[in-house]
Structure formats: structure tokens, C-alpha cells
Chains A and B, each alone.
Chain A
Amino acid sequence: MDLRFDKALFCLMLKKVSSWLISGNLVIASQLIIWHHLGCCESGMKTMCGIVGLFLKDKSLEPKLGEMLTAMLITMTDRGPDSAGIAIYGGETNGRTKMTVQSDNPDTAFQGLDAALTSALGGAVNMTVKSTHAILDIPAENTALARTEIDKLDRGIRVMSRGVSLEIFKEVGLPKDVARRFEIEQMSGTHGIGHTRMATESAVTTMGAHPFNTGDDQCLVHNGSLSNHNSLRRSLRREGIHIETENDTEVGAAYLTWQMQNGATLGEALTSSLDDLDGFFTFVVGTKDGFGVVRDPIACKPAVMAETDQYVAFGSEYRALVDLPGIENARVWEPEPATVYFWSHNEAPTSKEKAA
């Protein structure tokens, strides 16, 4: 796409501009770098991608999580009309795990899938089909085998998420249509994150939509663009990390997975992402117990947070938050750049600043 070319060129220019700045040639550097600092695509061109997140403290709101998140997501349609996705943490059942799988031909791919997996795994597998997605309810001890067995069936089924609580639904189309086809409004849960995408770095496809599953019960959404994703993808593939698409965010997700496989906590992985990822990003990550937020040090991608006794909410813009209950009296603020924030149902909220 033209835009991708422009952005790559732009990143090269930025490096040059830095050297101009150091050497004192302000005349050449000035217009380019002001464009950058005005937020580049935020201000001069168009807003790209929207993120929403909602973490409930008040249990009485849990039945309305899907409804609240859907409303927030639809508000962010003009930031990302290409595709949309939502990750919902719906709670866990003891001894069971959930896999959300997707197929472009759900009628044939999901036909008898539960029975086939039940016999292959030797434990009861239950399936709920929602449009192009199906949620497989699997005995916890068979989880590792399930992915292999699904691949063996060779039905073109793709795994969107795995975990005890997490379900991910994402498709190409307007956020309102995506939310409707997966009946997100009717879903309950403890917390969830959503994304509306305006594609820049790779094609508009289901697999290019966010959120990305980074590990069991973990997911990532991204607003921005990573400029070193090609070299990082090559390095991660050499390390044996599976990366499916040419999408930059998938590389960000794979990077976190790789860090955590090497013993980092999610917080540590996010902190080191500030060193190793080049480009613009606001990340929101979902975990079984809560969510985290981090912005790159330049922080030109917008982010607004609101907190009340009932919830913590995230939006790319304040507009996404205006219909939440009690928003008039919420504490509303912008997360600081290069700072990792976490809210968890288990622990007190934290924020950790990364030294420049």
C-alpha cells in the first residue's frame, strides 16, 4: 500500500532529521520534525486505530460488560473501520480451558468438530459456534494436545485464543457488525479489551485484526505502527516463535511471548519492549486477572483513562468513555509515556516508569 511506503520512508527521514538536528541544520529539519511531533498520523493525516478497555471492580456490573464494551468500541469506529476485535474474560470453570477458533468456512470446518476432538483427546469437548468462531471447552489436561489435533484435522481452522477465561472474537468489518455477529453485547465478564483497526502495515484480514493472543489468557491490542517489525520477525522466527502474518502487531505480541518464555513476567516483557520495539505504540494487554497499559516514550498515540469505585476504563479518546456510569465524577487522566501500568483483581494497581 502507498501508505506503508510513505511510513517506511518517513521513518528513514526521521533518522536523518535527528542527525540534522544534532548538526544544527534546523531549516531542513523543522517542518518534518514538527509534523512528527504533532502526532504525525494523529494530526496531519488521520487518526489510526482505536482501543477500548474496561476492568470492572464492581461485580454487579459484570453481566453488562459486553454491552458497555460494545458501546465503547462502536464510538471508536471512525478511528478504525477496517476490522474489529474484542477479548472478553468471562470467568473460568474448574478443570476446563477454552480455545476460540476461527474458520472462513465455519459450516464445514466446525461440523462434528466437538465429536472429533472428544475422541482424539479422550475427554469431553463442548463447542459453541458463534458465526465464524467457535469456543471449544476442553478438559484442562488435554489443552496442549488440542492444538495439534486441530491441525491434524486439516480443516483450515485457526486458533484465536487459548486460556481458562479468555475468548477472542475478531473479524473484518465495521465494529458494530463485528460485535453483532458475535453477540458481544450479551456477554458477561470481569474485564475485556477491544480494538478498531485502520490498517497501515499489512492487509485487512481476520488474522491481521486485533487482539492477538500472546500466551494462555493473555492478549495484546495496539495503536500505532512498529518500524522494526521485519527484522524483529526474522530474529523471533530464528528463536522458534511462530508468527503467522506480515502484521507488525503480531510481531509485538510474539516478542512478548518470547520474553515470557525466557522467564520474564508480563510487566518485565512490556518494560523491555520499550527498548526493543521501534515505532509508535500504545499497547493494552489483557491478562487473566486484569489489564496493563504502556505507551512508547514519544507517546503521540492518544490514551485516556478513567477510574471510579466501579471500574477502570481505557479509551483512545474521551469520547469512548462518555457513556460509562459516573464518568462525570471519575478521575480522568492520560497515562504517562514509557510507563507500565497494571490493574489486577488480585493486587493493588501499579505503575512503573522506565528510565529514559
Chain B
Amino acid sequence: MQTIDLTETGLRETNKMLHAQSADTNQTSWTIENAKGAHAIACGLNAPIEVTVKGSTGYYCAGMNQHATVNIHGSAGPGTGENIMSGKIVIDGDASQYLGATGHGGLIVVKGNASSRCGISMKGVNIVVQGNIGHMSAFMGQSGNLVVCGDAGDALGDSCYEARFFVRGTVKSLGADCEKKEMRAEHIEILQSLLDEAGFDADPSDFTRYGSARTLYNFDVDNAGAY
């Protein structure tokens, strides 16, 4: 296992070492110590390695991730996992705003709460949160699944496309064009597999599904006056 002290090695050097790993690297396990809220830790990884960050992280940790697994032993700052393509991010604490924004794939697991704009413009990423999420989450979500074991804040799924939202607790308010949906067998199956993958023990039948009412997809001539 490789161990890096971030305060000694520095951010650029640390990320450079992680970027140097290829698909068949034998250095598959890394630990980064003394994170101290630094920005952009383990950004842009592109190899099947596992990186464990000790402490809380700043902006954009594990952004643009491909193939790697990044564990954050602390809380995560704004924009964590932004534009994640594949791989997995596990956050032990809370996550700040716009977690997994524009993510195309992969899985993000939060053991605490996530803040506002969680999964904004998600494009295929799966996000599973054990606690609550903040306002304007999954705004314009296009595809992927957002699972919330706690409650959701204001304006969930505003102007969403085909992303699915599963919430076990309450939703403070739904955003424009987001509505409650029927939970069919295929959804129970998707949800169960996501909960299993995240390691959360919850019953899929306790969740409610939300998604797009699809009334904002096309221009409506009756609204021309609003321009």
C-alpha cells in the first residue's frame, strides 16, 4: 500500500502520482493523509485503484473520476465527484453542495447528509445518500438514480428529464415538472441493487419514486407571451 502525506508531498505531486497509474498497475491501494480540507484531491483518476483520503476534503475531490474507488474518511466539500464518469466514491461524513454534478456514470455513496444541488444535471451517475439532501437537488437531472434514505429539501428534481429519484422520508417540495411516480417491480429491483451496492440496509418498498411529468419537454406556443 502506498501512503502519501498531503502536507509533505503537496497536491500536484500527489495527483501526479495517482495519474501515473495505468489500467494494469500493481499499486492498487493508496492512502492520503492530512487532507485538511485541501481542494481537488484525487481529481481526474483513470485507473482501477483504491484511494482512501483521511480527513475532510475541500472542493472537487474525486472529480472526473474514472474506474477508481475513492473513500473519504471525513466530510466532503463542494463539487465532490463533479462529472464522475465511472468508479465509486464513498463519503463517510456529509457532502457539501453540488455533489456529483453532471456525473455521467459510477456510484457515489454518502453515509451522512448531502447539501443543496445534490446530483444537479446528473447524466447517468447513481447517488445513494443515507441521510437527507438539500434544496434544488437533481435539478435538470437527465439520467441515473438518486436514492435518499432520509428527507429531500425544496424543489426536488426541478425541470428534470429521465433521472429517477427514490426518497424514503419526506420531500419538502417538488420542483417544476417533477411528480410522484408509481413504484413498479423494475424500480424495486433497481433500488434494491443500489442499496446493496451502497451497503445500506433499507427496504425498497418504503421508498417513493419521483420523476419527470414530461410537460416541459417541448415548446408550448401558449407560453409565447412569456418571452
Contact = CB atoms under 8 A, between A and B. Distances in A.
B51 interface: no
Interface string B93-125: 110111001100000000000011100110000
B117 A319 contact: no
A308 B86 CA distance: 38
B98 A43 contact: yes
B140 A319 contact: no
Contact of B227 (A23, A39, A318): A23
A38 interface: yes
B78 interface: yes
Q: Which of A38, A300, A322 has the most CB of B within 10 A?
A: A38
B218 A34 contact: no
B121 A319 contact: no
Contact of B116 (A22, A317, A337): A337
Q: Which of A19, A26, A47, A332 has the most CB of B within 10 A?
A: A26
Interface residues of A, number: 34
B223 A24 contact: yes
Given A23-B223, A356-B154, A334 B96 contact: yes
A22 B226 contact: yes
Given A26-B159, A26-B216, A19 B37 contact: no
A23 B220 contact: yes
Contacts of B223: 22-25
A317 B96 CA distance: 10
Given A37-B120, A43-B78, A332-B56, A300 B216 contact: no
Interface string B203-227: 0000000000001111110011011
A24 B77 contact: no
Given A24-B220, A319-B37, A300 B94 contact: no
A167 B102 CA distance: 45
B136 interface: yes
Contact of B176 (A19, A21, A38, A333): A21
Interface string A19-53: 11111111001100110011100110001000000
B16 interface: no
A42 B37 contact: no
A302 interface: yes
B38 interface: yes
Interface in A220-234: none
B139 A25 contact: no
Interface of A: 19-26, 29-30, 33-34, 37-39, 42-43, 47, 298-300, 302, 304, 317-322, 332-334, 337, 356
18 contacts: A21-B159, A21-B216, A23-B220, A24-B216, A25-B223, A26-B140, A34-B140, A37-B98, A37-B120, A38-B98, A39-B117, A42-B78, A300-B116, A302-B77, A318-B75, A319-B38, A332-B93, A356-B154
